[in-house]
Amino acid sequence: MELFQTGTDPWGQEILIRISWTLLTVAFWAGIAFILFHAIYAVVWKPKVDHGSEPAKAPAGIPDKVVRHTGAARMFHWVMAASMLVLLATGFLPIVGLEFAWLNIHWISGLILLLCSLYHIVHASFFLDFWSIWILPADLGEAVQRTKRQLGQQVTLGKHGKYPLDHKLYHLAVSVFGLLVSATGLLMMLRIDTPIIPRNDQLFAEGTWGVVYSLHGFAAVLFVTLTITHIYFAIRPDKLWMTKAMIFGWVSKSDYLAHHDPEKWKVGSK
């Protein structure tokens, strides 16, 4: 399986052009294979989790509806999701043979995604609990316990704060590759005519452009797998309570107490 497509420059030297689109097929089927494996594993083999001793009674002051996502956070999520789906469709459907005028839709959607990302960085940094979604040293213990559980051991896995470790890992992957695909996408806009950025396709040599295209393509195909798995978890019956929170903004008191440690995610925190 080839990972990259190469060509020759005017001097006959081999240069990098882009990633091989075989990786698109691999990314798609990797996502399908993951959800099939996880669905079977969750039913057949996944051991039960012991959360330790339950508190004698629920802490006082917890409302019936606990706010999980503010209106601004939900707006960002759904605009970002829509722009990402449009980007994946306009980026890859022409490759698999569906021809349409995709270029303008693609770069406009890319700018929307970039603006959403910049908005989210500011919003999360100054108006939300910035560190609640990032992996911290305290999460290492949970990582060890989760690994033991995956190996079939019965473990005591304490309840987490607002976001469990797997959510934090997914957020990290989306953050890293989202910034990569956005930065390379902006550079690639220099090679097309837009009213936003003056065209300057002589900024880099052809080989360097090949690196930019390869990084962009690599991040993009990873988002195929990430998107498939994200949709899968969003529609799983045992995860619907979180999906509803992204629509309505709140979780029930019973779901809050069942899945979260009130000491790690205090009601009323951002």
> Is 20 within the bounds of a domain?
no
Average predicted confidence (pLDDT) for the chain: 90
Q: What is the 3-state secondary structure (H, E, C) of the chain?
A: CCCEEEEECCCCCEEEEEECCHHHHHHHHHHHHHHHHHHHHHHHCCCCCECCCCCCCCCCCCCCEEECCCHHHHHHHHHHHHHHHHHHHHHHCCCCCCCCCCHHHHHHHHHHHHHHHHHHHHHHHHCCCHHHHCCCCCHHHHHHHHHHHHCCCCCECCCECCCCHHHHHHHHHHHHHHHHHHHHHHHHHHHCCCCCCCCCCCCCCHHHHHHHHHHHHHHHHHHHHHHHHHHHHHHCHHHHHHHHHHHHCEEEHHHHHHHECCCCCCCCCC
**Backbone phi and psi for residue 96, each to the nearest 5 degrees, phi listed first:** -90, 5
From residue 222, how far is each of 92, 136, 215 by CA, in Å? 12, 24, 11
Q: Answer whether 145's CB lies under 8 Å from 155's CB.
A: yes
Q: Answer whether 259's CB lies under 8 Å from 167's CB.
A: no
> Is 211 within the bounds of a domain?
yes
Contact partners, residue 187, CB within 8 Å, separation at least 6: 203, 212
What is the CA 228 to chain-centroid distance, rounded? 10
Cβ–Cβ contacts within 10 Å for residue 245, how many? Answer: 20
Write down how long the chain is: 270
pLDDT at residue 160 above 80?
A: yes
Distance CA 191, CA 187 (A): 8
pLDDT at residue 176 above 60?
A: yes
147 or 39: which carries more pLDDT confidence?
39
Distance CA 196, CA 83 (A): 18
Q: 226 lies in which domain range?
A: 48-259
Q: What is the pLDDT of residues 22-59, one digit of tens each?
A: 999 999 999 999 999 999 988 877 666 555 555 546 67
**Backbone phi and psi for residue 194, each to the nearest 5 degrees, phi listed first:** -135, 160
User: What pLDDT is stored for residue 228 in this prediction?
Assistant: 98
**Backbone phi and psi for residue 98, each to the nearest 5 degrees, phi listed first:** -90, 110
From residue 192, how far is each of 19, 93, 94, 104, 188 by CA, in Å? 20, 20, 17, 10, 8
CATH code, 157: 1.20.950.20
User: What pLDDT is stored for residue 149 in this prediction?
Assistant: 74
**pLDDT bucket at 270, cuts 50 / 70 / 90:** low
> How many domains does the chain fold into?
1
> Is 4 within the bounds of a domain?
no
pLDDT at residue 1 above 70?
A: no
> Is 28 within the bounds of a domain?
no
> Is 104 within the bounds of a domain?
yes
pLDDT at residue 168 above 50?
A: yes
Cβ–Cβ contacts within 10 Å for residue 74, how many? Answer: 16
> Is 26 within the bounds of a domain?
no
Q: What is the pLDDT of residues 89-101, one digit of tens each?
A: 999 999 999 999 9
> Is 210 within the bounds of a domain?
yes
> Is 7 within the bounds of a domain?
no
